[in-house]
Structure 1
Amino acid sequence: MTALSVNVNKIAVLRNSRGGGEPDVLRAARTCLDAGAHGITVHPRPDARHIRDYDVFALAELAHARGVEFNIEGNPFAPPRPGYPGLFELCRRTSPAQATLVPDGDDQLTSDHGFDFERDAERLRPRIAELRELGCRVSVFADADRDGIERAAELGAQRVELYTGPYAEAFAAGRTDDALALFAGAARRAQAVGLGVNAGHDLSQANLGAFLRGVPQVLEVSIGHALISEALYAGLDATVRAYVEVIAKAR
């Protein structure tokens, strides 16, 4: 069954907009896990616009105590700076089950593309090796329409996370079949060389079921923005349970 990892970044965005401790990121994560989520994802950025280093430490402790997966996303090439010790140091101090490498720059509003595995190969290889030495499973963000996804295995990654923004756009425009064929093909190419397949970005209750039925053997979906947005109307517990049901029905 596909695992649901809830990205709690947007909870931190709301908290940071006012200052103080509300809404409580840790409480939100507990609610997600109590409702059936299989893990928690965070994407701390160097500018600390949402999840901050102290959140990472607290959420890692919660995940370890609950025996669920903790997934840290980030740019492996972003240097440390005040308030951001760097992706490797965060992973060293928290021992996440998974580190997901994403090629986002400081000025990006959100992650919007995967790695160019030809161009970035020799920079990625040592970063992946360092994270694997820490005991992290390493996943790398990948575009379904880019050649070379198979190289991620050669570089030492164990999974790829398919960037699903283009699928969500196609679904909204009624062009689902072609998009699913593209993503299914990318998943099969990755799986053929031993890579596990995750997926994330702009997945929602509306489009998730079709994606999981059309793309084979997706191991994990990481969902944040849509889930938190929907929770404003239905509540966090009910929304997470609804996602778990969508996943179960798509199995």
Structure 2
Amino acid sequence: MSEWFQPSDHRILVVDDDPNIVDLIRLYLENKGYRVVCAYSGTDGLARLEQGDVHLIILDILMPDMDGWTLCQRVREQGDIPILMVTAKGEGSDKLKGFGLGADDYLVKPFDPNELVARATSLLRRTYHARIDVPPKTELRFGRLRIDTAGHTVTADGRPVDLTAREYQLLRIFVQNPNRILSRQQLLDLVWGIDYMGEDRVVDVFVKRVRQKLGPGDEDWAIVTVRGLGYKFETKG
């Protein structure tokens, strides 16, 4: 692990109504040097989150007072803290729902605690320690779409577009590779990192979210689905 990444610099919130699962996760995370705070319900988790100083949330879905879906949505309304869902609900539709609500990764119970620690570490490194080179050109223009790569701001038709960190990174990869087909695997490697171990369909969910926030493309640009191959940021010039 690189010297610039120190587990002790990160505080992880574990939210699950099963004390045995919470204790297991806490034990493995603390053994790696992470600081851990525990919550046993969605309401308790939200209260602890509002106290601040949380860098990652490990979240169960099936909880009695506030389920993981609701808590995930509430977290996303407040910010971009990475979320790793750990749940017995392993159906594809459940995973897509989780990604659609803003989860960053998904692990199905029963799980290997060492894999959970590896995924948590991967999320933290990608979110807080990614070293992204800023291109010399700080403003990219495609008709009415503007991307300021220095300020990480986006406007469409003159209105600011509120993108999460990962949505912005996905758009940045697209606009820096105009008219080039990018496969799901390439996008996973470039945006989520080569150590990402989750579902590749998360790319489809995030592309859909970026399209919805940007609005429909125009004669100058469009995010195009290339069936069987991936996606392409199509533009003139």
Between structures 1 and 2, the one with greater strand share: 2
Would the TM-score normalized by the shorter structure come out above 0.5?
no
Q: TM-score range by the shorter chain?
A: 0.3 to 0.5
More contact order relative to length (CA 8 Å, sep ≥ 6): 1
Task: Give the TM-score, by structure 1 length.
Answer: 0.31
Larger radius of gyration: 2
